[in-house]
Amino acid sequence: MLSPFTRSSHARRTALLPLALLALLAPLPLAAQALPDDAPAVDELPVEDVQTFAEVFERIKRAYVEEVDDRTLLRNAMRGMLSELDPHSAYLDHEEFQSLRESTQGEFGGIGIEVGIQDGQLTIIAPIDETPASRAGLESRDVILRIDDTPTEQLSLQESVNLMRGEPGSDITLTIQRRGEEAPRDVTLTREIIRTESVRSELLEPGYGYLRVSQFQSRTGEQVTQAIGELESEGALNGLVLDLRNNPGGVLQAAVDVADAFLDEGLIVYTEGRLPDTEMRFSANPQTAAPDVPLVVLINGGSASAAEIVAGALQDQRRAVVMGTESFGKGSVQQIMPLGNGEGLKLTTALYFTPSGRSIQAQGIGPDVTVVRGRLEVADGQDIGVREADLEGHLRSRDEPRERREMSERLREDYQLAEALNLLKALNVVSERRQ
């Protein structure tokens, strides 16, 4: 059977294509003039490839089982161009562009997870603290196979995000495949307004502070400095735990500000890209909130992007001991580029590097001290003696308020945090003996 698209008919149909389409694909002098003078030269598009694109466009228009309008085809082509570059570049329509702006401002409706595409699968980077996702026990590197009745394998990253967001109070069911488990499982969550407080702090014990940064927003650096001041107002700090576990990242400048809170000199991070404005270097400011407090940084597989910038900077500058497990490994920088039609691009424009020149992309930050997730339990036959505190009606020590007892229970549940506190105490013992 002969194809209806013979060489002669192809030539006639190609000639009839809208001139606007071919003009769209040709290099535009105006676009070139919009770039900086020292921007990399843009190669002219090969004529044969332009003709092939036009042929594909024309055949879809004429032969696809359902009629497709030009606008849809062109937007699909633009989405395809970006989606094939890397998992983080995307074309954003009006709704997607607005959704992204809302998420960076710290309030949106959804279940509270950061997701990405890993090995072709929709994967959880990190659940956000105090959200339906974190309360349901979702974990970094869980694979989402279905969103309600929709398989995720054919969805773009932004389409998946859009499906998971919705009206507060509405339910959503995710089919989750966890590493080490044979069968997938369904998890039903109720959407909420996600108001993300990026920083919280408390005392683990007198003199030992805990600083949790759940993600990096525009005011995170300011909030970290404020939190350090509040902890110091309760007494001198002998040590501080900076918890960046399950922190999916966020604003680059916020990461610089947080690292700067602990460094009074030296390079924090630098970026390299093709355009001159993507090559940046960020250094510490002498005015520092906590330049001398012993510091342990907690990371895990959910620590990504801006969280890795902070951990890498403090590790390279030997300012902190990094503890936990290897981080996610997202070392690329995305810029949000508004388009004239009210839509936008999220485009990867640079890679970032730690002060020593390490690229974190697909590598991650390795901890100085590896401590896996777990909880503390008393072994059978150990510590079975009765203590004064076990006797009914015992007098409570003035030095052990209820908050401390509750914190002790929390440390038993969070083995990594308990080990971080133990390390800080050990550092102080060594420091005192050297004096």
Catalytic residues: 305, 316, 330
- What phi and psi, each to the nearest 5 degrees, are found at residue 406? -65, -35
Separation of alpha carbons 19 and 21, rounded Å = 5
Q: Which residues pair with 271 in a beta bridge?
A: 280, 352
Separation of alpha carbons 340 and 302, rounded Å = 36
Helix, strand or coil for residue 201? strand
- Other beta carbons less than 10 A from residue 35's beta carbon: 13
Q: Which residues pair with 353 in a beta bridge?
A: 270, 359
* Three-state secondary structure string covering 22-69: HHHHCCCHHHHHHCCCCCCCCCCCCHHHHHHHHHHHHHHHHHCCCCCC
- What phi and psi, each to the nearest 5 degrees, are found at residue 140? -55, 135
Q: Which residues pair with 108 in a beta bridge?
A: 194
DSSP codes of every residue in 123-143 = EEEEEPTTSHHHHTT--TT-E
Burial 303-337 (b: 16+ CB within 10 A, else e): bbbbbbbbbbbbbbbebbbbbbbebbbbbbbbbee
Give 304's DSSP letter: -
Helix (H) / strand (E) element for 95: namely helix 94-105
Torsion (CA) 158, 104, 125, 156 in degrees, nearest 10: 10
Separation of alpha carbons 92 and 105, rounded Å = 17
Separation of alpha carbons 164 and 171, rounded Å = 10
Separation of alpha carbons 340 and 245, rounded Å = 38
Contact 245, 323 (CB under 8 A): no
For residue 251 the two structure tokens come to: 């604003």
DSSP codes of every residue in 132-192 = HHHHTT--TT-EEEEETTEESTTS-HHHHHHHH---TT-EEEEEEE-TT-SS-EEEEEE-E
